[in-house]
Structure 1
């Protein structure tokens, strides 16, 4: 196993891992690169294709990766996921074809040499073993030619990637200049002009609204909406009865199994039978309490043959006691070596037990864990009831019951959202998975109740109605939106005008306090300050001030306009980064540039090779 793990970490191991997870391993290299059109293909890329099975495998793999990082599956946007996976598969296919066209290949001798160096294919003497190599291929259902073809394909692809990404150039001088920018600081004063403070000064005419409508008619569309009725259920909403003794014991047994606990205690007993058994047992217990030896009393008083050996009955085994097992087990619970039980009435008579040896793991008693076990038992019951209720509601939905009938039958609150939006949804149910189900074509046409959609730690069922598709708004309907847009634009222009007028009168620090508005003094800041927005941070260091003077900088912003006043920019003389850190920074910058170059190259390949997407198969794969 260690050899296999090390092999999978090496470069050929990673290639083989990709191969084993890919449908190419099942289809064979010939079917992938053949010229025949796959009737189940998702996309035709030049002379190659992206198959449906390959696409679905990649989607499922990517979905699993994403779901490992998010707790709520309903937050996953399936449309974006499918889009990203398809783009990745097309990009890879484009690069594979281009690598072949450019003659980037690896010889069999090179692949042989590299494989012979891997320990997984070597015998005990460190020599390459044909038997181990054959077993490796047989376990994975591959031929040698398939393995070599995939290795050659992947290595050629790596060569092409490296030739593109590795050519990114970013000189150290430019890196130093970029780092030096982060060392700049200056004193800054800021005043922000809110456009809403100017809204009352804006006058709009019908001509203004008509003109904007005519110029932007295609963008003025209504949002796709439905009226949504839904029910929501979570485990927390489930009420459960008090926990029974039996349920508590089940949780305790489950706990002991979870820690692989077995009772390794050795016990001894004294058995009393006959009409005077209770009286005799009490007298012996009193003598034990005074310190007399258990083994001696067992030999003298026990009616069981085990008395001859001091009452020793070996390791505790509940099955020996039949119907009395629970009674005896409860009496022994929590006892340590040397502890003695009170006389216990069983079907055998009266018995007194002691623990003589304990080689097992110390197990907390049920009583010491009662609160914890009670909580677990309640949660188990709650989850069990919840699961049954989810199944019941799903069955009712599948049988065609309305959301109202289901809510009434299952005693769940019915909720409604009017004008539930397909995009820019800010309702109580904004999750992509919920939105997708609410606007599912079949659900809308049939006005059906959806199957349960998992949301957070609960489930929601939906029934949309009154579907309104997106459409171009008439002037009357668009007027409120246009009025808002124009009012903000014109109010922002007024704010910007005032900001520029003030900026013109600020040349020295003394001028700041003479203005009709108050400025917020931020003190000395650098480019990493959180007191400014991203746009304002760039603006704050965009212009240098004169010696002993200040510079006033104005810019339009989302909230209106910002007026920043800064004194002379200062730069630290000594960089906090070592030479090694500077080199690492340069490497990161070059890698990022290389990725940009790779994307540009892929855009170029999309012009060279024809890419056709089978929309019908895509829709089927996405469940549309």
Structure 2
């Protein structure tokens, strides 16, 4: 047992357990501390064992914190608390069922085993050694004691052993894997004939009475979703920044800082490098003599330089700033004027001859051009504290006000309105799930209160209220008549086309006609998900049975308002090597799927047999 623990603690099981303890709402972690306390109010009873309210609320808190940690910008208003509570309770019930089953099977982990598991977990180690401080901090962050944590770890470990053993028991024969791969790689040859909607357009007739009858029989399909008309005010960092006064001198001071930061000189230099060696000195003297005689620097670099990359470019190193190469090279380069060549310069890389090819300077744009942007940046920076203060004051006032007019006047904000805000699919700012959830809450929708102040993002806060509530209701006929008419026209069109297709299919099956000619489109060796074939046609082609030898399988499919006749002529399975790694991987994948299904069935049976009571 201890050796298994040592092995598993370094691998998948350790990772699963740690993830579960922190965040998971899955069945492996929600048994958290079931059984830790008794004599407290319970939220459910499983086979006589209570899940206490204290246990339940702790797991709800952990789950909520995890959801927030997964958000790029954590926002509690985005949490669906009702859903979290429901998921946590269901997971805790299921985990208790599993823990009881493990106990019934006599599975246990000794205290020594728990100790070994804890000290072996990489999450609690520093430089390969167990850290009591890391362990204690982790347990405290979960809001539980060490004893509770040890009990949780023991139960999760045992439950996971059951899960692992059942899943590993899943099997899948290699032949099944080979067949799946052969089907995945299957190709099909077929031809299509399109019967266009325009060919029966004169026969299609949909009357107003037809539309009205269909509407009356299918009215439930046309409902206007529940919506609210909304008024809101919006406080933003930008609007606060507009009220911030930025003196001209502050703008000039910041511009001067930019000039100091962004003004720089660049020098385009070329060099001839002579690396240290027995003949280095003679080569240096030769290069110097030829330079004195007026030889071309680039030509000498190509001939003599030991830096092959720059030598091809005549020694050109491109533009460099002070400090890019540093040391003696920088010092010599900066001392030269444009077009000048230095004498031998020694560095750690060897001896250089340096030529400055060009000198250019860079500095910010003129003050007049940058001033507006600088002023906005300063205002934004200084507006942060003021925005935070106003946000707090607005939240307090909006909470106590019966309308939005008073806080709007106090903070100089515009009361905006929008009609038809639904539970989803809205434009800003009502794409924010937390704001919408509050709009449809009982306090706001039924009691007429303002929403809380909702941070739409880091620089914008909104308070809203409902001015009118529109329950879900049928859409009137005049709003949907056009779409009903189009639907009925399409149905009539396809019915008429199917009649023509049935007649032609009869001739094809008896041999009176063949799927050939200019009207037919031929497809060869089509694989699944081939983009060149329309999706409806491809789906129908791969659903048709394999044709008899020298025969066809026929079918039809709607493609928009057209109808397509399909003549499938050949099916070829993909070639698969039964001994290949691909087959082994597929067999393993299928075995895991089967194991997961068996485990799901196992858990479902335990759940159905358990006596579960909820107060």
- TM-score bracket, shorter-length normalisation: 0.5 to 0.7
Matched, 1:461 2:463: yes
Alignment-derived partner of residue 330 in structure 1:
none
Q: Which runs of 5+ in 1 are unaligned?
A: 1-5, 257-335, 340-365, 615-624
Cα distance, 1:89–1:27 mapped onto 2, change above 3 Å: closer
Cα distance, 1:580–1:380 mapped onto 2, change above 3 Å: farther
Cα distance, 1:50–1:522 mapped onto 2, change above 3 Å: farther
Alignment-derived partner of residue 420 in structure 1:
421
Alignment-derived partner of residue 609 in structure 2:
608
Alignment-derived partner of residue 396 in structure 1:
397
Deviation at 1:439, TM superposition (A): 0.6
Does the CA contact (< 8 Å) of 2:166 and 2:595 recur in 1? yes
Deviation at 1:441, TM superposition (A): 0.4
Does the CA contact (< 8 Å) of 1:189 and 1:566 recur in 2? yes
Give RMSD over aligned pairs.
5.5
Matched, 1:100 2:99: no
The one-character-per-residue Cα deviations of 1:405-429 (angstroms, maximum 9, x if unpaired) are 544554444433323323x545553
Does the CA contact (< 8 Å) of 1:74 and 1:434 recur in 2? yes
Q: Which runs of 5+ in 2 are unaligned?
A: 1-7, 261-326, 332-361
Deviation at 1:44, TM superposition (A): 3.7
Partner secondary structure for residue 48 of structure 1: strand
Distance in 2 separating the partners of 1:179 and 1:559: 35
Deviation at 1:537, TM superposition (A): 4.1
Alignment-derived partner of residue 217 in structure 2:
212
The total of aligned residue pairs comes to 482
Does the CA contact (< 8 Å) of 2:32 and 2:152 recur in 1? no
Alignment-derived partner of residue 505 in structure 1:
504
Cα distance, 1:538–1:100 mapped onto 2, change above 3 Å: farther
Does the CA contact (< 8 Å) of 2:17 and 2:153 recur in 1? yes
Cα distance, 1:535–1:56 mapped onto 2, change above 3 Å: farther
Cα distance, 1:485–1:179 mapped onto 2, change above 3 Å: farther
Distance in 2 separating the partners of 1:584 and 1:534: 29
Matched, 1:438 2:471: no
Cα distance, 1:20–1:447 mapped onto 2, change above 3 Å: closer
Distance in 2 separating the partners of 1:125 and 1:9: 15
Deviation at 1:567, TM superposition (A): 4.3
Does the CA contact (< 8 Å) of 1:251 and 1:377 recur in 2? no
Distance in 1 separating the partners of 2:534 and 2:45: 45
Distance in 1 separating the partners of 2:240 and 2:122: 56
Distance in 2 separating the partners of 1:123 and 1:434: 44
Distance in 2 separating the partners of 1:569 and 1:125: 58
Alignment-derived partner of residue 263 in structure 2:
none
Alignment-derived partner of residue 89 in structure 1:
92
Cα distance, 1:188–1:25 mapped onto 2, change above 3 Å: closer
Cα distance, 1:554–1:87 mapped onto 2, change above 3 Å: farther
Normalization by structure 1: what TM-score?
A: 0.59
Distance in 2 separating the partners of 1:405 and 1:120: 54
Instruction: Between 153-162 and 521-530, report the one with greater CA deviation.
Output: 521-530
Distance in 2 separating the partners of 1:166 and 1:444: 52
Alignment-derived partner of residue 590 in structure 2:
589
Alignment-derived partner of residue 527 in structure 1:
528
Cα distance, 1:202–1:150 mapped onto 2, change above 3 Å: same
Alignment-derived partner of residue 63 in structure 1:
67
Partner secondary structure for residue 451 of structure 2: coil
Does the CA contact (< 8 Å) of 2:9 and 2:120 recur in 1? no
Distance in 2 separating the partners of 1:243 and 1:106: 72
Deviation at 1:401, TM superposition (A): 5.2
Alignment-derived partner of residue 570 in structure 1:
572
Does the CA contact (< 8 Å) of 1:397 and 1:448 recur in 2? no
Distance in 2 separating the partners of 1:387 and 1:124: 43
The correspondence of residues 126-275 of structure 1 with structure 2, limited to 5 A, is 146=148, 149-187=151-189, 201-203=205-207, 204=209, 208=213, 212=217, 223-235=225-237, 240=242, 246=250
Partner secondary structure for residue 568 of structure 1: strand
Does the CA contact (< 8 Å) of 2:445 and 2:466 recur in 1? yes
Partner secondary structure for residue 504 of structure 2: coil
The one-character-per-residue Cα deviations of 1:355-383 (angstroms, maximum 9, x if unpaired) are xxxxxxxxxxx987997987754542454
Deviation at 1:90, TM superposition (A): 3.2
Distance in 2 separating the partners of 1:590 and 1:377: 63
Instruction: Between 239-248 and 456-465, report the one with greater CA deviation.
Output: 239-248
Distance in 2 separating the partners of 1:406 and 1:60: 32
Deviation at 1:390, TM superposition (A): 3.5
Cα distance, 1:29–1:212 mapped onto 2, change above 3 Å: closer
Distance in 2 separating the partners of 1:253 and 1:8: 54
Deviation at 1:495, TM superposition (A): 1.6
Distance in 1 separating the partners of 2:78 and 2:535: 27
The one-character-per-residue Cα deviations of 1:247-289 (angstroms, maximum 9, x if unpaired) are 88799999x9xxxxxxxxxxxxxxxxxxxxxxxxxxxxxxxxx
Deviation at 1:436, TM superposition (A): 0.8
Cα distance, 1:438–1:252 mapped onto 2, change above 3 Å: farther
